[in-house]
Chains A and B, each alone.
Chain A
Amino acid sequence: GQQLNQSPQSMFIQEGEDVSMNCTSSSIFNTWLWYKQDPGEGPVLLIALYKAGELTSNGRLTAQFGITRKDSFLNISASIPSDVGIYFCAGSKGAQKLVFGQGTRLTINP
Chain B
Amino acid sequence: NAGVTQTPKFRILKIGQSMTLQCAQDMNHNYMYWYRQDPGMGLKLIYYSVGAGITDKGEVPNGYNVSRSTTEDFPLRLELAAPSQTSVYFCASSYSVGTVTEAFFGQGTRLTVV
* A94 B99 Cβ-Cβ under 8 A: yes
How many residues belonging to B are interface residues under a CB distance threshold of 8 Å? 28
The residue of chain B having its C-beta at the shortest distance from the C-beta of A104 within the complex is B42
Q: Which residues of B contact A31 (CB under 8 A)?
A: 99-102
A11 within 8 A of B: no
A88 contacts chain B at the CB level, 8 A cutoff? yes
Report which of B58, B98, B101, B105 forms a contact with A43, defined as CB distance below 8 A.
B105
- A42 x B90 contact (CB < 8 A): yes
In A28-49, which residues have CB < 8 Å from any B CB?
30-31, 33, 35, 40-45, 48
Shortest CB-to-CB span from B59 to chain A, Å, is 6
Q: Mark B82-114, 1 if CB is under 8 A from A, else 0.
A: 000000001010101011111111111000000
Instruction: Find out whether the CB atom of B31 lies under 8 angstroms from the CB atom of A97.
Output: yes
The contact size tier of chain A is 20 to 34
Across the interface, A97 reaches (CB within 8 A) one of B45, B100, B104, B108, namely B45
Number of A-B contacts (CB under 8 A): 71
Q: In the assembly, what is the distance between CA of A35 and CA of B92, in Å? A: 13
In the complex, what residues of A have CB within 8 A of residue B103's CB? 33, 45, 90, 98
Cα of A84 to Cα of B1 in the assembled complex, Å = 27
A102 within 8 A of B: yes
List A contacts of B106 (CB < 8 A).
42
Smallest distance from the beta carbon of A89 to chain B beta carbons, Å? 10
Q: Is A62 an interface residue (CB 8 A)?
A: no
Q: Closest chain B residue to A91 by CB distance?
A: B101
From A1, A43, A95, A105, give the contact of B96 (CB < 8 A): A95
Residues of B at under 8 Å CB distance from A?
4, 31, 33, 35, 40-43, 45, 48, 50, 58-59, 90, 92, 94, 96, 98-108
Could you list some 17 contacts between A and B, CB below 8 A?
A30-B99, A30-B101, A41-B108, A42-B108, A44-B105, A48-B102, A50-B99, A88-B43, A93-B99, A94-B98, A94-B101, A95-B50, A95-B99, A95-B101, A100-B45, A101-B42, A103-B41
